[in-house]
């Protein structure tokens, strides 16, 4: 296993592709795009988020788990059996890959909450699932929940993107949204659970940059029941999106006003209505402000988004071609899979790029 305290200087590459009509394609294109961004990583982490891979079980939560040892798996399955009703379970297929050394064991479970337990706790389905994910990650040594949404999955680990793609046989899955990441850790460790994407429910986040507000964000999220246990700053972004949009029902258009808020001097110069709104959001959600350089791609079952920090200290390019939306660290990552794409643009600092799935 990699040394979880290892540190390196930084890069990170990201690509996301969404078909707005729900057309499902295999993982060859995203792997091809990420191969162009290989030099933005250093082999200490890569991964893929996949939306639409389990159409025959899309009404079940697909829990992807990684286990460091057999005891962790036994303890986790005992816990899951008491909390969920199982539809099915199976090992996640992998392929022998020379560059992948000492991987954990990967397993997936298709489940629904145990209704007696859920009702006794008076929790909605999604909050019930989150509470169980947090318990496993925090309390069961050697077990980590990789993803926990419906009809979505995450495959990640130590290696370059092409290595992880080969290991998990990404080409055999089909999806309408693909998001990829090549990691170059800065001041957080490179280990299997710390690879991107980070997830909760159907939210997935890949990130290039460094979250200097991590300590504040982490303490704030803990007050709302989110435990940060993956030893990396990027984890907070997935939880913030879930909290703001699903729990607090903040309109999507105002999420950048919280996570990448304007500077106070710019807010003070706005007209009265805008100034009052943005001041209120900044004051109420001050601890959710994400400081530091970042570019993120966020996936969910209904689409994909891209957002950079309020100064745009990390690159992000967007493009559209018919029913496809692409977001990447570099234009080359997009043109590798769509050479003649008609519209390419560079989003402004703090500008949210949104692609919505147009089918149910």
Q: Could you tell me if residue 232 is inside a domain? A: no
The C-alpha atoms of residue 204 and residue 62 are separated, in whole angstroms, by 14
Nearest residue to 103 via CA among 155, 53, 77, 66 = 66
Q: Catalytic: which of 10, 12, 311, 356?
A: 12
Domain with 106, as residue range(s), is: 13-211+293-356
Q: Could you tell me if residue 203 is inside a domain? A: yes
Nearest residue to 149 via CA among 231, 52, 278 = 52
Tens digit of pLDDT for each residue in 148-187? 999 999 999 999 999 999 999 999 999 999 999 998 776 6
Query: How many domains, the chain?
Result: 1
What's 73's domain CATH number?
3.60.20.10
Residues of the chain with pLDDT under 50: 1-10
Query: Is the Cβ–Cβ distance between 195 and 157 less than 8 Å?
Result: yes
pLDDT at site 188: 66
Nearest residue to 4 via CA among 192, 189, 168 = 189
Q: Could you tell me if residue 299 is inside a domain? A: yes
Q: Could you tell me if residue 247 is inside a domain? A: no
Q: Could you tell me if residue 186 is inside a domain? A: yes
Q: Could you tell me if residue 282 is inside a domain? A: no
Q: Could you tell me if residue 343 is inside a domain? A: yes
HEC letters along the chain: CCCCCCCCCCCCEEEEEEECCCCCEECHHHHHHHHHCHHHCCCCCEEEEEECCCHHHCCCEEEEEEECCHHHHHHHHHHHHHHEEEEEEEECCCCCCCCCCCCCEEEEEEEEECHHHHHHHCCCHHHHHHHHHHHHHHHCCCEEEEECCECEEEEEECCCHHHHHHHHCHHHCEECEEEEEECCCCCCCCCHHHCCCEEECCEEEEEEECCCCHHHHHHHHHHCCCCCCCCCCCHHHHHHHHHHHHHCCCCHHHHHHHHCCCCHHHHHCCCHHHHHHHHHHHHHCHHHCCCCCEEEEEEECCEEEEEECCCCCCCCEEEEECCEEEEECCHHHHHCCCCCCCEEECCCCCCCEEEECCCC
pLDDT at site 29: 96
Nearest residue to 317 via CA among 341, 300, 285 = 341
**Tokens 């040394």 — which residue?**
3
Query: Is the Cβ–Cβ distance between 17 and 337 less than 8 Å?
Result: yes
pLDDT at site 360: 64
Would you call 139 a catalytic residue per the annotation?
no
The C-alpha atoms of residue 340 and residue 270 are separated, in whole angstroms, by 40
Q: Could you tell me if residue 230 is inside a domain? A: no
Tens digit of pLDDT for each residue in 256-278? 999 999 999 999 999 999 999 99
């Amino acid at each position: 296993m990699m040394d979880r305290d290892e540190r390196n200087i930084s890069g990170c590459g990201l690509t996301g592709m969404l078909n707005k009509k729900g057309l499902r394609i295999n993982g060859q294109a995203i792997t091809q795009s990420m191969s162009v961004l290989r030099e933005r990583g250093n082999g200490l982490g890569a991964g893929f988020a996949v939306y639409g891979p389990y159409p025959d079980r899309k009404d079940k939560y697909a829990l992807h788990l990684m286990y460091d040892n057999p005891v962790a798996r036994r303890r986790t399955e005992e816990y899951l059996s008491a909390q969920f009703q199982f539809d099915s379970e199976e090992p996640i297929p992998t392929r022998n890959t020379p560059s992948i050394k000492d991987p954990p064991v990967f397993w997936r479970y298709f489940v629904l909450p145990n209704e007696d337990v859920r009702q006794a706790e008076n929790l909605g389905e999604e909050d019930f699932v989150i509470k169980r994910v947090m318990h496993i990650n925090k309390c069961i040594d050697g077990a980590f929940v990789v993803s926990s949404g419906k009809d979505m999955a995450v495959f990640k680990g130590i290696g370059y993107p092409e290595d992880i793609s080969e290991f998990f046989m990404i080409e055999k899955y089909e999806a309408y949204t693909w998001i990829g990441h090549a990691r170059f850790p800065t001041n957080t460790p490179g280990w299997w659970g710390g690879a991107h994407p980070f997830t909760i429910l159907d939210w997935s986040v890949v990130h290039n940059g460094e979250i200097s507000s991590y300590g504040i964000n982490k303490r704030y999220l803990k007050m709302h029941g989110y435990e940060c246990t993956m030893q990396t700053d990027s984890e907070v972004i997935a939880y913030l999106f879930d909290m703001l949009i699903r729990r607090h029902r903040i309109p999507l258009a105002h999420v950048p006003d919280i996570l990448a808020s304007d500077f106070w001097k710019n807010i003070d110069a706005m007209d009265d209505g805008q100034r009052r709104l943005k001041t209120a959001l900044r004051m109420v959600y001050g601890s959710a402000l994400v400081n530091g350089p970042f570019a993120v791609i966020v996936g969910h079952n209904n689409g994909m988004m891209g957002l950079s920090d309020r100064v745009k200290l990390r690159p992000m390019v967007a493009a559209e071609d018919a029913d496809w939306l692409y977001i990447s660290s570099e234009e080359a990552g997009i043109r590798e899979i769509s050479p003649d794409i008609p519209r390419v643009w560079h989003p402004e600092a703090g500008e949210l790029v949104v692609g919505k799935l147009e089918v149910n």
